[in-house]
Structure 1
Amino acid sequence: MDKNRQSLSDKLIQPEFHDPYLKPWHERGDTFCPQCGVTYQAGRWTWQHLAHKDKAEEETCPACRRIAERVPAGQVTMSGSFVKPHSEEICHIVRHAEELEKPEHPLERLMSISDTADGLLVTTTGMHLAKRLAHALDEAFKGGELHTHYKEEDCFVDIHWKRD
């Protein structure tokens, strides 16, 4: 293999290896979150009900913890003269992208959508959702500048989308 080529696995975001909100779960048994109802079973977070809920642990899931502690794993900053006049449509696209992601990836959720001086700021509980939101915006509006910055030491993705 060419030394200058990255493998596909090197390019993927792999938060399970360093996200402090996920790491403690690798050795756990069946657990359910009393706040949102998500379950952890067979090493995976799902919306499926546990067969033996009475034997499962009850603990707040990583997404609900991030929301309560206000510690996002991703943020998408949208700016430029295009954003404010199209904010309703943008918010619809953001919410729709979450609806598509959440059934298969229950820890990928919107935390907030807020106004900024020159646009909007969206925070998410997962890095993948932030990336999906940015791509959905880019695809829907066919343009703009998209910049992604991964902060691996903080398990955080900071995405900027600008369109004038």
Structure 2
Amino acid sequence: MNKFQQSQKDNLFKTSTHDPYRLPRVEGAAICPQCNAVYQGGNWTWKHPENTVIHDARTVKCPACRRIVDNMPAGTLTLSGSFLQKHRKEIINLIENTEKKEKAEHALERIINLTDSAADLIVTTTGIHLANRLGHALEAAFKGTVDYQYGDDEYGLTVNWTRDE
């Protein structure tokens, strides 16, 4: 078997990653009762459709609110190193500002929790894209070393950022 055949064989039996919090396609519109995000046309957004009054929209909890209630993050960012302790306030401001920008454009990308664990700071997110963006923002602003690990069998991303002086 040549290299091409082997690569095709490996791809043939891989299943796609499944997000258990993703809703099946819903006909019509829906509104999340917790955050007021609107589901229409397969997307969750903050914008209510123009010139459209949603009379019979169902109230369906969005995937981000469900993850927050269940405390089941899709992304986990772990920050460590002596630089973190000295510049903690600036780093948290960067994280919060990055989340604000991402959340404004993508209703399902939010921070679940910021937690102190020994000398580390752990940030959990409702989506993998926010965790990815936070890792890139930290690397761009403060340098350091970033490691991204996507889950093989589950929908998730673990990002580790570290910087020592």
**What TM-score bracket applies, with the shorter chain setting the length?**
0.7 to 0.9
Cross-structure match for 1:109: 110
Q: d(CA) in 2 for partners of 1:39 and 1:25?
A: 15
Identity %: 45
The alpha-carbon deviation at position 28 of structure 1 amounts to: 3.7
Q: d(CA) in 2 for partners of 1:29 and 1:152?
A: 33
The alpha-carbon deviation at position 25 of structure 1 amounts to: 3.1
Q: d(CA) in 2 for partners of 1:17 and 1:97?
A: 26
Q: d(CA) in 2 for partners of 1:47 and 1:148?
A: 29
Q: d(CA) in 1 for partners of 2:87 and 2:46?
A: 33
TM-score under structure 2 length normalisation: 0.84
Instruction: Give a deviation string over 1:127-152, Cα, whole Å, max 9, x none.
Output: 000000011011111x2111110004
Matched, 1:58 2:59: yes
Q: d(CA) in 2 for partners of 1:27 and 1:55?
A: 13
Q: d(CA) in 1 for partners of 2:48 and 2:108?
A: 16
Q: d(CA) in 2 for partners of 1:26 and 1:17?
A: 17
Cross-structure match for 2:144: 144
Provide the secondary structure at the position in 1 that maps to 2:73. Answer: coil
Matched, 1:86 2:87: yes
Provide the secondary structure at the position in 2 that maps to 1:107. Answer: coil
Q: Which ranges of 4 or more aligned residues in structure 1 deviate by more than 3 Å?
A: none
Listed as ranges, the matches of 1:146-161 within 5 Å are: 146-161=146-161
Aligned pair count reads 149
One-letter code aligned to 1:123:
T
